[in-house]
Structure 1
Amino acid sequence: MRSWEVGSRRLVRRSVVAGLAAATLVTVAACGAGGTTSKSTSSGTAAAGSGSLTVLVEGGGHGELQPVADKYTQETGTKITFVELPYDGLYDRLNSELSSGNVSFDVAALDAVWLTAFKDGLTPIDDLFTDKVKGDMFPSLLKEAQTGGHFIGMPAWTNAELLFYRTDLFNDTAKKTAFKAKYGYDLVVPTTWQQYLDVAKFFTEDSAAANGGTPKLYGTDVKGKVETEWLATVLQAGDKNVVLDDSGKVIINDAAHKKALDFYTQLATKDKVTPAGPSQIDWAAAQNLFNQGQLAMTRFWAHAYTQIPKDSPVYGKVGVAPMPAGDGGIGAIPGAWYLSVPKATKNSAEAKKFIQFAYENNALGLSTALGLAATKSALQSAAAQPGHENLNPLITTLGSSGTQPRPANAKWQQIVDTVLVPMIQKAVDGNGTDNQKLLDDAKKQIEGIVG
């Protein structure tokens, strides 16, 4: 099995990116990134008499934070011990220890969707969010870091979906000529929903014509087994929130959600520009389809750009741009992870120093396997460097007013697993489903969950 045929385990489950929710891919198990084992590792050797901190992380988080920890130990003498757990194991450990008030760690890297659920066990870190720090944060992350009127997490790294496209296809002279003859405008990287649809139809039909009616290349994909991409489409359609508004009211059946579901599903059901079986496509499947050369475009997490394996047929032939905009402009769901301090730790002061240090050295994450950071300044510091062509589109996307976090609701994951994903799967499979009815039914189910 080739390396580009191996899918992500972490990103499949929850995002992000991370995150990674994100987050991840072939070389790291991202909405975040995935750890599959539980282990502890230390950063350097602490100076005699110096302190120590225990940091609870998932696999990708360890990789992102190791350079920060190494530098912190070098400069302060404080020993950093990482306790690395798989995603579900990390959640279980946090849930158990934060609820009991008996913790074995001083700092934890938390998926964004956990902040609200664990807020009662976390220390407010408002004093770290100076005006300078706030000005260096993307609005969606600044909003997500707060709950109950307090900041309880410092963004450590973030992700967002971008548009990945095949440069060899878009630069092909014959295809350019054929596209303009058919659609009346130049073949360009899509910036609008209509362009995205036209381009997806063109490449699918072009491939079908060359292969006796059966496409070997599809214009794009839709991911029925995950919710984040459709939620991003809702923001592009013009809503400022997804599923729940800021007051907690269920808005999933409003006009923007309907428009987004119609657009998202027509790619698979009406225009048939996606591979068969869209209800079973998740992040890993979509990534494999693109890396195997079966898609002209895909919407995927930003970090994937630097992780396309060299044995992939698309290696060196991929460009990245912000996702196509709808009536609401560019919009995405960030896949961020946050550093937090448990109330029960006896090392709160040192823990906060480490988190501030991680913010000040956020750019170190760009040199890791995931190649991610969270602050404007960190991302901008490498955006012009070869190999980081994904960063400017990421900066544009994260800075867009259409980019918003997922609802701050402790039952969000239950809503995703029991309502959103099953609804999207029904919608993308077609079978005569009524999208408005699906959304109306989803509203009733979600109201039953949130009360």
Structure 2
Amino acid sequence: MEKIRIAVRKFDPFETTLKKLWDLFCLKNNITIEAEMIPLELHDLYQETITNKGLINGTWDIAHINTDWIFDAANEKAVLDLTLLINKNPPQDYPEGWHPSLLHLQQINNGTFGLPFHDGPECLIYRKDLFENPTEKENFKKQFGYELLPPKTWEQFTQIAEFFNRPEDNLYGSVFANYPDGHNMVFDFCLQLWTRGGFLLNTQNQIDINHIAAIQALDFYRNIAKNKKAVHPKSKDFGSVEAGMAFAKGEAAMTINWFGFASMCEVIEESKVKGKVAIAELPHDPNHKTASLNVYWLYTIGTGSKYQNLAYDFLRFATTSESDKLLTNEGGIGCRKSTWNDIDINKTIPFYHKLEMLHENALTLPQTPVWPKVAELIDKMVLKALESEIPSQKLLEETQNAIQKIL
């Protein structure tokens, strides 16, 4: 029995969407080949597709690859350059249908190595029902002397998180994703760094995290993550999906997570906060501006696939405006401008049109083949900060020395 094999990022909305799209695609084009879709956690997905060369040796025909890994995948010649296929038969209104920020990370050495699948930059997600409650507003103002609004600074974020922390009601001030998977804590560190005016690259374009803004970033992050009066106690076991689910179940007043987890609250059955969620830009240092992080998922085709043409036809089908809208209704985040501005979608998810605003402040991670290794070192550093009393400055120095060795 012939089968096309797809490596899927494990997340219910992705799995249900892909199954529906494959069935519709087969029906429309009279295709009888079955698709075997294997959901994989982040680490396993990278391992299966890139480390174990699954995209090169034909184990996988199509894979979800995120933009952190695409540089690596393209350099390893694991993913197909789609340029010729796109020129011959472009996806529906390509490239105008997408915001430029969703098209550039897969452009490597004049090639195009994937099509945008799921997106949604990092933002502050909060419970507007709590923030707008007159009693809460009055009590907050009495205690802190200013209006209860989405926090503009990190100091306000801490105060608001402590104010709403009510373990007896199973409500916590905030929830983080502190499970060390090489991603979430790295992203959190970068956001802390950028919102304090710091950068990952120095003037020579080399990765350099040994400076004042980085010390402030790590100091704040380790303090908030360890603050039992402000943070969900299970944060250390949560990846971004679990942290997003805890928020959807009404267990936190605020979270910093991907936009997708805000919209998920409006569409999934398990959500206890439908209609009670809003988003805002991230807090920042008073002297610097807000920032966001844009990492997005791509559909890619393996260089070893014997179904490359069929796979590309499916990618074209899976990225139409109808398919993009379907993904959104299932709980993922469509990448097309048409979905962001869709009237039905904005009725269900009233803040959906704000995606454009988030993209305006969204920064990206350095595109270098060594980034996955650097991310691993930063991940270990943040974990050490959470589990020890070693000063941040010392941790940053040690990590920078380890980074120099890779560079």
Match of 1:360 in 2: 320
Among 57, 63, 79, the alignment partner of 1:108 is 63
Uncovered stretches (5+) of structure 1, i.e. residues with no partner: 1-39, 43-52
Mapped partners of 2:305, 2:235: distance in 1: 46
Match of 1:296 in 2: 253
Match of 2:38 in 1: 85
Mapped partners of 1:41, 1:337: distance in 2: 27
Compared with structure 1, are the counterparts of its residues 326 and 89 closer, same or farther at alpha carbon in structure 2 (3 Å cutoff)? closer
User: Secondary structure at 1:321's aligned position in 2?
Assistant: strand
Deviation of 1:299 after TM superposition, in Å, equals 1.8
Compared with structure 1, are the counterparts of its residues 58 and 275 closer, same or farther at alpha carbon in structure 2 (3 Å cutoff)? closer
Match of 2:21 in 1: 68
Mapped partners of 1:237, 1:134: distance in 2: 34
Mapped partners of 1:367, 1:424: distance in 2: 33
Uncovered stretches (5+) of structure 2, i.e. residues with no partner: none
Compared with structure 1, are the counterparts of its residues 96 and 446 closer, same or farther at alpha carbon in structure 2 (3 Å cutoff)? closer
User: Secondary structure at 1:84's aligned position in 2?
Assistant: strand
Deviation of 1:441 after TM superposition, in Å, equals 1.4
Letter in 2 for 1:232: L
Compared with structure 1, are the counterparts of its residues 325 and 142 closer, same or farther at alpha carbon in structure 2 (3 Å cutoff)? farther
Q: Does the alignment pair 1:336 with 2:287?
A: no
Compared with structure 1, are the counterparts of its residues 366 and 246 closer, same or farther at alpha carbon in structure 2 (3 Å cutoff)? farther
Mapped partners of 2:309, 2:136: distance in 1: 61
Compared with structure 1, are the counterparts of its residues 100 and 154 closer, same or farther at alpha carbon in structure 2 (3 Å cutoff)? closer
Match of 2:8 in 1: 57
Match of 1:320 in 2: 278
Mapped partners of 2:52, 2:387: distance in 1: 41
Q: Does the alignment pair 1:154 with 2:111?
A: no
Q: Deviations over 1:20-39 (max 9, x none)?
A: xxxxxxxxxxxxxxxxxxxx
User: Secondary structure at 1:340's aligned position in 2?
Assistant: strand
Trace 1:205-244 onto structure 2 (pairs within 5 A).
207=166, 217-225=171-179, 226-227=184-185, 228-239=187-198, 242=200
Trace 1:279-428 onto structure 2 (pairs within 5 A).
279=236, 282-283=239-240, 286-287=243-244, 290=247, 293-305=250-262, 307-308=264-265, 314-316=272-274, 318-326=276-284, 329-361=289-321, 362-381=323-342, 385-397=346-358, 399-401=359-361, 403-417=362-376, 419-428=377-386
Q: Deviations over 1:336-355 (max 9, x none)?
A: 22122233444434433332
TM-score by length of 1: 0.71
Mapped partners of 1:382, 1:247: distance in 2: 46
Match of 1:142 in 2: 103
Letter in 2 for 1:339: Y
Mapped partners of 2:350, 2:395: distance in 1: 39
Deviation of 1:125 after TM superposition, in Å, equals 1.9
Aligned residues of 2:164 and 2:171 also touching (Cα < 8 A): yes
Mapped partners of 1:246, 1:63: distance in 2: 45
Compared with structure 1, are the counterparts of its residues 339 and 223 closer, same or farther at alpha carbon in structure 2 (3 Å cutoff)? closer
Aligned residues of 1:107 and 1:340 also touching (Cα < 8 A): yes
Mapped partners of 1:56, 1:103: distance in 2: 12
Mapped partners of 2:45, 2:386: distance in 1: 32
Mapped partners of 1:56, 1:157: distance in 2: 15
Q: Deviations over 1:78-123 (max 9, x none)?
A: 4453222242554444337757954255433323333222211322
Compared with structure 1, are the counterparts of its residues 182 and 375 closer, same or farther at alpha carbon in structure 2 (3 Å cutoff)? same
Mapped partners of 1:368, 1:80: distance in 2: 26
Letter in 2 for 1:224: N
Letter in 2 for 1:412: W
Q: Mean Cα displacement is larger for which, 271-280 or 189-198? A: 271-280
Deviation of 1:250 after TM superposition, in Å, equals 1.7
Instruction: Supply the RMSD in Å over aligned alpha carbons.
Output: 3.8
Aligned residues of 1:279 and 1:426 also touching (Cα < 8 A): no
Mapped partners of 1:56, 1:216: distance in 2: 36
Q: Deviations over 1:23-65 (max 9, x none)?
A: xxxxxxxxxxxxxxxxx998xxxxxxxxxx6544344444333
Compared with structure 1, are the counterparts of its residues 99 and 323 closer, same or farther at alpha carbon in structure 2 (3 Å cutoff)? same
Deviation of 1:154 after TM superposition, in Å, equals 0.9
Match of 2:218 in 1: 261
User: Secondary structure at 2:126's aligned position in 1?
Assistant: strand
Mapped partners of 1:325, 1:413: distance in 2: 27
Mapped partners of 2:294, 2:56: distance in 1: 30
Mapped partners of 1:426, 1:84: distance in 2: 36
TM-score by length of 2: 0.78
